[in-house]
Amino acid sequence: MSTLTLRHVAIDTYKENVAYLHRDCKLYHSEGFQALNKIEIHTHDGDASIIAVLNVVDDDCITTPDELGLCEQAFEQLGGKAGIPVRIAHAKVPGSLKAVHRKIAGDRLGFEDYRAIARDIAANRYSKIEIAAFLVACTEIGLERDEVLHLTRSMIETGKRLDWGEPLVVDKHCIGGIPGNRTTMLVVPIVAAHGMLVPKTSSRAITSPAGTADTMEVLSQVELSPDQLHKIVRAERACLAWGGTAGLAPVDDILISVERPLLMDSPGQLVASILAKKLAAGATHLIIDIPIGPTAKVRSRSSALVLRKLFEYVGDHLGLNLEVVLTDGRQPVGRGIGPVLEARDVMQVLENDPLAPIDLREKSLQLAGRILEFDPDVRGGRGYALARDILESGRALTKMQAIIDAQGRNSGPPGVGRFCHEVAATESGHITAIDNRQLAHIARLAGAPMDKGAGVDLHKKLGDSVEVGELLYCIYAEFPADFEFARDSAQQNSGFTTGDSYVDKVP
Amino acid sequence: MSTLTLRHVAIDTYKENVAYLHRDCKLYHSEGFQALNKIEIHTHDGDASIIAVLNVVDDDCITTPDELGLCEQAFEQLGGKAGIPVRIAHAKVPGSLKAVHRKIAGDRLGFEDYRAIARDIAANRYSKIEIAAFLVACTEIGLERDEVLHLTRSMIETGKRLDWGEPLVVDKHCIGGIPGNRTTMLVVPIVAAHGMLVPKTSSRAITSPAGTADTMEVLSQVELSPDQLHKIVRAERACLAWGGTAGLAPVDDILISVERPLLMDSPGQLVASILAKKLAAGATHLIIDIPIGPTAKVRSRSSALVLRKLFEYVGDHLGLNLEVVLTDGRQPVGRGIGPVLEARDVMQVLENDPLAPIDLREKSLQLAGRILEFDPDVRGGRGYALARDILESGRALTKMQAIIDAQGRNSGPPGVGRFCHEVAATESGHITAIDNRQLAHIARLAGAPMDKGAGVDLHKKLGDSVEVGELLYCIYAEFPADFEFARDSAQQNSGFTTGDSYVDKVP
């Protein structure tokens, strides 16, 4: 068989293997590859092989007729050696795609099916459209809770799994959707100050105005090597870093790369995704925060309960000590929305500043209290008071400073954005609703999370009384264009609703 | 707003718009495009805009930090002018994706929904994963017959529509799956010899060992410009060409580019796809051939009837005169499988050669007879006899020769492949089954349709008696590697089943 020379094509295709073959390549014509969507590529020694979607190139600068080009991730997967001889073949359909077709037809799948699917996805044998087919089939028919368990287990099995060598490794996770909800940066120092092991890694914001990693980055470095991360965790019992999940449940990352652009978010996928990542990261005890509210991800107590049961079922069967807390998701938590503003809120709470936002403080104490009660030596019901003691005594602040120093303190953190626009009330009365989505949207338009100082600073919250012309919130931005976008959006819809009276009814 | 310079990136991404942005591009960072899967690209004058999936480039040879690269099809769509200034923006989710999510949730969609979806797909606002989501949702929940009608109508509306200016424009279509089934090359000259207008364009084989276009190409040119095609049709009342469907129901091509790699083939999509293409091509009268057999696409008479009703319902509502014929799909039609071998069969029938395969001749006469009865002057039930007269009198052959000459006769058509392997019976008895799929597979491995002379030549058909060592079929190939693949496959599974006795029972 003829061979081609492997070439690195410096294109990042976002979690899809793409191969580039020149239109004049002899193999392209003689082997009928032009009718195909996918090919299999083998190194000449037969040691490695990958599957890739085929793109056809008409420019020798990208790939010559004697070469096979691979996008960055595919090139790495095949071993990352340019110039070696490779063979190409028609890709076989991944064996587990039959199970996907059975799911499309309405069947319930078993553990062997999910394991086969996860293995094929982990080996990059699925193209993005095949992944989309799997996800839609799971959403449409729905997953039985046993199927969610199988999927979770399969996602863990197909990746690395960390072992911290301790019986109690705690973590927390919020299912998201509430701007300003930076409880992690308070919970972690509180429970670490108590001595619990909490190796916390967080994501950056994808569709929200700030993630924990973005906000922590205002104060310290967050991009740490696995070695640094382990050293810091051993020394401080905690970290507040970005990522660190490379190789953990890699199937989850691949599924998310398709779920996100599809705006899909089914309960089964959500639970499997969160629990697979946490278990692979070595967590033994986990608190899940599910905020409920009309503009939160979960809108009613009943759907929150369904989700809670699913978390509990899968967690229990995988030996994870898991507690689900349903929280108030009717409005943003704290005052700031955006990295710098949220970091300010967090530090105010840690410093016991009388101006600190009460709701952020209270929610963090509640969650930290629940985690502290995972400690067999903490009496049931005493967690909250213990968390409050740790916070008020300044021990949480000391721990936070130690974590910041260990990760690498940022000298002179950035301030708020140069441009400021005040949004004022147009009617008098009480604030009866605050739209999480619209405020997140305005903060993102203003530049958050890319511009650390951009965002929204709230001056009124639910139930507050307000007069015409009184300040509702400030928008901060770094750049004029962003500033205008955000201001225009706030003018169209401030996100605030005012009424005659407000009845406080926690959902 | 800053602008980028448009650049043509010579990559053919197979029906997906891809944009290439350099990782060091200022806009990529400041605008937060790295979190996105899709962007919208506008020409600076605001005249044109397209949506594309974003790939990130680390090589100035492909795209510099000041440029925006577009793959071939996206570049054409934006007007095809390199060097012009363009602006990029976050792509909005296509509006009709909400309808797709409703379909995923189990809703029935209305005409407005399908029209919106078809318009967004035609405007390339859907990425492939969004298309996959739509297709799976349609397959899983199923389409009501009204939904198939809406989808068909929407696909026609979003493309060009040919008008031949005559009240009777005939066409035929087989839903496929039967090797050697080259009836089109007989039906077209027969009905054209009667004076009917039959502007027949066919596809090349995608997953089968030969399409009508591949087989016709043995005899004449098939790649004709729209102008040539129209001139030939006006002169000869017929053509037997490739493609010619550019711009006709373009949504169908886009859907197929995702359906095919997913191996999806739901009845609703099948009917909408075929009827949209035929109506857009100006057909007024259409015969649909549905072969039934254990290794055909449709395996039972009852599922064939369901499909027939669906074709009739949609056809009737769109003003198409449509007849569905259920045919015997238990084995390949004719003797040859592969372009040269099938062309030989066709010419033997046209030349009234006593060695011509009877089944191919009979089936073609049946189908041609049904089409001839679309002529108001042909008495009901007389179509078959008329078709036979046209064939036996040599008028069909004369018409075929005229079509071949008009399209451009190939001098010295290629012969069968250099390598020949004879597959012999290993038991005596009667042939009780022939596996369409395995024989198609062997023919493809041998090199068909790329190597015109490659394929399989059958010496036994269903019900024939056979002795051990007697010839079942020959495999022909051009190249040694293909030859070995095909031979190995035939050794593992000849595709023939032999039994003591055979009962002829048409499905």
pLDDT digits (tens, 9 = 90+) for A414-462: 799 999 999 999 999 999 999 999 999 999 999 999 899 999 999 999 9
With residues binned 3-state (H G I as helix, E B as strand, rest as coil), the percentages for chain A, rounded to 5, are 40, 20, 40
8 Å CB contact of B14 and A37 = yes
Q: How many CA atoms lie within 13 A of B453 on its CB side?
A: 14
How close B237 comes to chain A (CA, Å)?
Answer: 31
Residue A391 has pLDDT above 90, yes or no: yes
**Percentage of residues in chain B having pLDDT higher than 90:** 76
d(CA B9, CA A59): 8
Cβ neighbors of A422 (< 8 A, separation 6 or more) are A471, A473, A474
Ramachandran class of B447: left when φ > 0, alpha when ψ lies in -120 to 50, beta otherwise? left
Cβ neighbors of A375 (< 8 A, separation 6 or more) are A168, A194, A196
DSSP collapsed to 3 states, B154-185: HHHHCCECCCCCCCCEEEEEECCCCCCCCCHH
Give the nearest chain A residue to B207 (CA atoms).
Answer: A35
Tell me if A243 sits within 8 A of A203, measured CB to CB. yes
8 Å CB contact of B59 and A481 = no
Give the nearest chain A residue to B445 (CA atoms).
Answer: A31
The catalytic residues of A are 265
d(CA B488, CA B482): 10
Q: What is the pTM of this model?
A: 0.85
Sheet of B429-434: strand order equals B465-466, B429-434, B496-499
Residues A64-112: tens digit of each pLDDT: 999 999 999 999 999 889 999 999 887 888 899 999 999 988 899 999 9
d(CA A143, CA A107): 10
Tell me if A149 sits within 8 A of A108, measured CB to CB. no
8 Å CB contact of B481 and A1 = yes
Q: Are strands A471-477 and A455-458 parallel, antiparallel or unpaired?
A: antiparallel
8 Å CB contact of B59 and A10 = yes
How close B318 comes to chain A (CA, Å)?
Answer: 30
On whether the A170-247+270-407 domain is CATH 3.40.1030.10, my answer is yes
Tell me if A182 sits within 8 A of A333, measured CB to CB. yes
Q: So what's the pLDDT on residue A32?
A: 60
Residue B210 has pLDDT above 90, yes or no: yes
Q: Of these residues, B24, B66, B146, B265, which one is catalytic?
A: B265
Residue A123 has pLDDT above 90, yes or no: no
Report the residue of B3, B8, B11 to disrupt the A interface, i.e. the one with the largest count of A CBs within 10 Å.
Answer: B11
Q: So what's the pLDDT on residue B202?
A: 86
How close B56 comes to chain A (CA, Å)?
Answer: 5
Residue B36 has pLDDT above 70, yes or no: no
8 Å CB contact of B57 and A11 = yes
**CATH code of the domain made up of B170-244+267-407:** 3.40.1030.10
Please state the φ and ψ torsions of residue B324, each to the nearest 5 degrees. -105, 130
Residues of B in contact with A34 (CB under 8 A): none
DSSP A130: H
> Could you give the 3-state DSSP secondary structure of residue B71?
coil
Could you tell me where the beta strands, DSSP code E, fall in A183-284? Answer: 198-202, 238-242
Give the nearest chain B residue to A261 (CA atoms).
Answer: B37
8 Å CB contact of A140 and B106 = yes
Residues B314-334: tens digit of each pLDDT: 999 999 999 999 999 999 999
Give the nearest chain A residue to B56 (CA atoms).
Answer: A12
> Could you give the 3-state DSSP secondary structure of residue B357?
coil
ipTM metric = 0.82
8 Å CB contact of B12 and A141 = no
Give the nearest chain A residue to B256 (CA atoms).
Answer: A37
Residue B119 has pLDDT above 80, yes or no: yes
Give me the CATH topology for the region A4-90: Barwin-like endoglucanases (2.40.40)
8 Å CB contact of B54 and A104 = no
pLDDT, average across residues A40-44: 89
**CATH code of the domain made up of B93-158+246-266:** 1.20.970.50
Q: Cα–Cα distances in Å, from A134 out to A107, A139, A158, B132?
A: 13, 9, 17, 10
Give the nearest chain B residue to A480 (CA atoms).
Answer: B1
Q: So what's the pLDDT on residue A16?
A: 85
How close B417 comes to chain A (CA, Å)?
Answer: 14
8 Å CB contact of A31 and B93 = no
Residues A476-497: tens digit of each pLDDT: 999 888 899 899 999 999 999 9
8 Å CB contact of A140 and B93 = no
Q: So what's the pLDDT on residue B253?
A: 87
Among partner residues B14, B29, B132, which is closest to A132 by beta-carbon distance?
Answer: B132
Q: What is the DSSP string of A365-401?
A: HHHHHHHHTTSTTSPTT-HHHHHHHHHHTTHHHHHHH
How close B379 comes to chain A (CA, Å)?
Answer: 44
Two structure tokens written together for A173? 């996770």
> Which residue, chain included where needed, has tokens 């740790």?
A390
Beta bridge partners of B286: B171, B322
d(CA A391, CA A373): 16
Please state the φ and ψ torsions of residue A455, each to the nearest 5 degrees. 150, -160
Residue A253 has pLDDT above 90, yes or no: no
Q: What is the DSSP string of A78-89?
A: TTS-TT-EEEEE
DSSP A248: B
Q: So what's the pLDDT on residue A34?
A: 59
Cβ neighbors of A190 (< 8 A, separation 6 or more) are A364, A365, A368, A372, A387, A390, A391, A396, A399
Among partner residues A11, A23, A479, which is closest to B20 by beta-carbon distance?
Answer: A11
8 Å CB contact of B12 and A62 = no
The rounded mean pLDDT for chain B is 92
Among partner residues A30, A137, A258, which is closest to B129 by beta-carbon distance?
Answer: A258
Residue A14 has pLDDT above 90, yes or no: no
Q: How far is CA B398 from the centre of its chain?
A: 28
Q: So what's the pLDDT on residue A181?
A: 95
Which ranges constitute the DSSP H helices of A64-203? 72-77, 97-104, 111-122, 128-141, 145-157, 184-193
**CATH class of residue range A94-159+248-269:** mainly alpha
Among partner residues B29, B55, B261, which is closest to A37 by beta-carbon distance?
Answer: B261
Please state the φ and ψ torsions of residue B240, each to the nearest 5 degrees. -135, 75
d(CA B21, CA B70): 9
Angle A240-A241-A244 (CA atoms, 0-180°, nearest 5)? 135
Residue A308 has pLDDT above 80, yes or no: yes
8 Å CB contact of A12 and B57 = yes
d(CA A319, CA A322): 9
> Comparing C-alpha atoms, which of A60, A158, A458, A160 is closest to residue B61?
A60
Q: So what's the pLDDT on residue A310?
A: 96
Q: How far is CA A217 from the centre of its chain?
A: 16
Residues of B in contact with A105 (CB under 8 A): 140
Residues of B in contact with A73 (CB under 8 A): none
Give the burial class of A474: count Cβ atoms within 10 A of its Cβ; 0-12 exposed, 13-18 middle, 19 or more buried.
middle
pLDDT band at A386 (very low <50, low <70, confident <90, very high): very high
pLDDT, average across residues A31-52: 79
8 Å CB contact of A140 and B30 = no
What is the crossing angle of helices B339-350 and B358-372, to 10°?
70
CB pairs under 8 A between A and B: 144
Q: Kindly state the helix (H) or strand (E) to which residue A443 belongs, with its residue range.
A: helix A436-445
Among partner residues B13, B56, B104, which is closest to A12 by beta-carbon distance?
Answer: B56
Give the nearest chain B residue to A91 (CA atoms).
Answer: B261
Asked if B482 is an active-site residue, the reply is no
Among partner residues B35, B106, B130, which is closest to A262 by beta-carbon distance?
Answer: B130
> Could you give the 3-state DSSP secondary structure of residue A73?
helix
Give the nearest chain B residue to A60 (CA atoms).
Answer: B10
Among partner residues B10, B59, B132, which is closest to A57 by beta-carbon distance?
Answer: B10
Among partner residues A32, A55, A258, which is closest to B11 by beta-carbon distance?
Answer: A55
Question: What are the structural domain ranges in chain A?
Answer: 4-90, 94-159+248-269, 170-247+270-407, 419-499
Residues of B in contact with A211 (CB under 8 A): none
In the chain, the amino acid numbered B111 is: F
8 Å CB contact of B206 and A10 = no
Other beta carbons less than 10 A from residue B35's beta carbon: 15
pLDDT, average across residues B245-264: 85
Residues of B in contact with A57 (CB under 8 A): 10-12
Residues A342-351: tens digit of each pLDDT: 999 999 999 9
pLDDT higher at A413 or A144: A144
8 Å CB contact of A261 and B140 = no
Residues B423-439: tens digit of each pLDDT: 999 999 999 999 999 99
Q: So what's the pLDDT on residue A31?
A: 62
**Percentage of residues in chain A having pLDDT higher than 90:** 76
Among partner residues B1, B106, B206, which is closest to A35 by beta-carbon distance?
Answer: B206
How close A128 comes to chain B (CA, Å)?
Answer: 6
pLDDT, average across residues B289-309: 95
The rounded mean pLDDT for chain A is 92
Residue A363 has pLDDT above 80, yes or no: yes
d(CA A389, CA B317): 75
8 Å CB contact of A128 and B133 = no
8 Å CB contact of A263 and B56 = no
Q: Kindly state the helix (H) or strand (E) to which residue A363 belongs, with its residue range.
A: helix A358-372
pLDDT band at A244 (very low <50, low <70, confident <90, very high): low
**CATH class of residue range B419-499:** alpha beta
Q: Cα–Cα distances in Å, from A271 out to A26, A55, A128, A152, A376?
A: 48, 35, 21, 8, 27
How close A240 comes to chain B (CA, Å)?
Answer: 22
Residues B403, B405, B407, B412, CA torsion sign = positive
Q: Kindly state the helix (H) or strand (E) to which residue A257 belongs, with its residue range.
A: helix A250-262
How close A375 comes to chain B (CA, Å)?
Answer: 39
Give the nearest chain A residue to B30 (CA atoms).
Answer: A450
Q: How far is CA B376 from the centre of its chain?
A: 30
Q: Cα–Cα distances in Å, from A233 out to A83, A188, A194, A203?
A: 42, 12, 14, 18
Q: What is the DSSP string of B18-43?
A: EEEEETT-HHHHHTTGGG-SEEEEEE
Q: So what's the pLDDT on residue A475?
A: 97
> Could you give the 3-state DSSP secondary structure of residue B284?
coil
Beta bridge partners of B160: B248
Report the residue of B262, B485, B489 to disrupt the A interface, i.e. the one with the largest count of A CBs within 10 Å.
Answer: B262
